[in-house]
Structure 1
């Protein structure tokens, strides 16, 4: 069964890359063939896009270089259709790909469709290109003492706002959020976060939702108009419609519905990982993050390696461990958590938190490098009692 078995991995983000590299190591003597498909030849460190937006230069990591020595074939092109019955993928600019097993790792992107004008007048952090365009606009605003609005008070919005304010003190930064930033943290970590926002001179507008993005302003649901020389949109995410269009079972957001082994409930030869999968634990559905995504990739690579050898697999188990949050280059706060993502008592702040956050942000590339030669684990917590039984 293993000889000639073809595994196609769609998407070379954090989870797709790890799935391919780890699977190559786990199946190196079985004859399994692995192909990784991605529109760009560049590996994007999504965890660092706010740094590019603030004007920093980051290393250019090429997918072919990261795959060197693994035996994985890289196909550069965008997947435009999946035929799950024929097990065939249409790739723009390349020949169709037949697969025996598919790993669906297309991830997510910022949703600019939930407010008119956001798609035309706002910038995003989806990739280095848009982040770089924002950085150029930010330089113009900095010289003129302009105002930047960051729409969305989640982790991405907070990291972007603090990075911008620290790197460009001449810019007026406004963070707009329907909820209190840091609401998922404990009281002390949240208080530290708000002191950092105040120290950096960030104007905080909470309990507000942006309903329209204009060329030089944003409009709130209560009718207020706020000046905005540059708008950075971080509010909400969307996933590729590829799975739903192919008739693969998805939820109402387009995430692939998975069983306890992260296989599609409608097409078990398809494994879904990271942001593209609807994965439930007893404590709830996992939210898209590198913290949960890499363990799904590790588990899926191990699962496929066992299945092609005819071995049984155990259900996926995962528990959260921390909420790392950078506050510019010189400050950070780390809220450690219980398995269900509720805050624990331990936290880190200041220099130790900066070191910890940088370790977290840089760990995926190290993981890929070492996974070529050994089984590197990214699963810090399996969730304890909360995940001993698969979610209903």
Structure 2
């Protein structure tokens, strides 16, 4: 390695880390930059499809080194276990290897949190990894064959998609979706009504307005005192992030997300850029919540910003607005709620076969973007939020 090379280390090869690394490689190909991508697994996880895997469908096996072919990016398989922001080093697997960096991109993402409800960490499954989803699918086959009960806890988009997929693929299972709020509460009336008709058609029982207080081996307990039979429980409520940033002395918010400025750089260590679920990002209209829809634009922006900084140009503030809420309802149905920049619903929505095609395009777009980004600057941003993001966040 030349002493003049600028060393960039990207932690995490999920949706955001992959795009940041590949786009950086293209944008800095003549700038004397060495990029290293670090991830515990050498397989790329399509988080948008984990509910399909949980229902027993087979997904394409994607190799991270294969996706990086032709980029010049060094791939290190291992887990980042410590960061020394002063020395600008990252320890891999508790000191097995150490990487030096000049610029660090922190893209470790988030996972479902099972620690806040008693029994969830012992008796509930998650979609936190392909292995977790596969383990759930194996158990689901036996439960469905016996006509058993399946509970999906959490009525957000992930819970809705999982309950729909499970019910469609295993009609002999009794599927119950448990949620504090009405499923689809974030949608407009038309899309929400369509969603509920689809759940009814698939035979999903909805228990809304209730909070799960305990997960038992054969039931979930609600705050009303009721017990819901559960031979198999899937937990999709609540998120947590890696403690690595906090443990390394990087400024974080009360959830452990890295506190960033308007250019997505750490407020305590400007040579660290945080993207996706790992960053506490605020727009003038409010705080961004972690989704692939917001994560991919933050990765695109950060790659472009680092390239600008290396050329001695100033960084422009990050701008983003939500555009849609795509929800699959099994393999043959879907609903797409179009939104304002702050994720509140517009009047327009898309349903049925057209929505299925739309959702499949959305789910497949990251891998397509990685391939295109090796040779051209393609955009992952559907909306920059309009006027609402032209003024600084409060």
Question: Can you list the C-alpha shifts for 1:24-43, whole angstroms capped at 9, x where unaligned?
Answer: 00000011000000000100
**What is the CA distance between 1:186 and its match in structure 2?**
0.4
Q: Is the 8 A contact 1:275 1:287 kept in 2?
A: yes
- Rounded Cα–Cα distance in structure 2 between residues aligned with 1:97 and 1:389: 38
In structure 2, the residue matched to 1:27 is 28
CA distance in 1, matches of 2:169, 2:372: 34
Mapped partners of 1:208, 1:146: distance in 2: 22
Secondary structure at the aligned position of 1:138 is classed as helix
User: For residues 20-99 of structure 1, what are the structure 2 equivalents within 5 Å?
Assistant: 20-92=21-93, 94-99=96-101
Distance (Å, rounded) in 2 between the aligned partners of 1:2 and 1:180 = 58
Q: Is residue 294 from structure 1 mapped to residue 301 from structure 2 by the alignment? A: no
What runs of 5+ residues in structure 2 fail to find an aligned partner? none
1:377 match: secondary structure: coil
Retained in 2: the 8 A contact 1:3–1:30? no
Partners of 1:355 and 1:388 lie apart in 2 by: 33
Distance change (3 Å), C-alpha of 1:29 and 1:360:
same
- Inter-partner Cα distance in structure 2 for 1:114 and 1:224: 19
1:1-392 aligned within 5 A: 3-92=4-93, 94-392=96-394
Deviations for 1:257-300, whole angstroms, at most 9, x for unmatched residues?
A: 10000000000000000000000001111000000000000000
Q: Say which SS state the counterpart of residue 150 (structure 1) adopts.
A: strand
The count of residues paired between Structure 1 and Structure 2 equals 392
Deviation string, structure 1 residues 168-192 (Cα, Å, up to 9, x no partner) = 0000000000001101100000000
Deviates more, 1:57-66 or 1:1-10: 1-10
Alpha-carbon shift at residue 2 of structure 1 (Å): 10
Give the TM-score normalised by the residue count of structure 2: 0.98
List 4+ stretches of structure 1 deviating above 6 A: none
Three-state SS of the structure 2 residue aligned to 1:96 is strand
Which ranges in structure 1 are unaligned for 5 or more consecutive residues?
A: none
Q: Deviations over 1:316-351 (max 9, x none)?
A: 000110000000000000000111111111110000
Deviations 1:294-321 (A, max 9, x none): 0000000000001111111110000110
Counterpart-to-counterpart distance in 1, 2:4 and 2:299: 23
> Could you tell me whether the CA contact under 8 Å between 1:163 and 1:328 is conserved in 2?
yes
Distance 1:26 1:283 in 2: 30
**Whole-Å separation in 1 of the counterparts to 2:310 and 2:199:** 51
Q: Secondary structure at the match of 1:61?
A: coil
Deviation, 1:225, is 1.2
Q: Distance in 1 between matches of 2:247 and 2:197?
A: 46
Whether contact under 8 Å (1:23, 1:302) holds in the other structure is yes
The offset of 1:94, in angstroms, is: 4.0
Most deviating of 309-318 and 153-162: 309-318
Q: Counterparts of 1:346 and 1:178 in 2: how far apart (Å)?
A: 26
Q: Give me the whole-angstrom Cα distance separating, in 2, the residues matched to 1:352 and 1:219.
A: 39
Between the aligned partners of 1:339 and 1:220, the Cα distance in structure 2 is 35
Mapped partners of 1:90, 1:128: distance in 2: 25
Structure 2 distance, partners of 1:149, 1:297, is 35
Measured after TM superposition, the shift of residue 3 of structure 1 is: 3.7
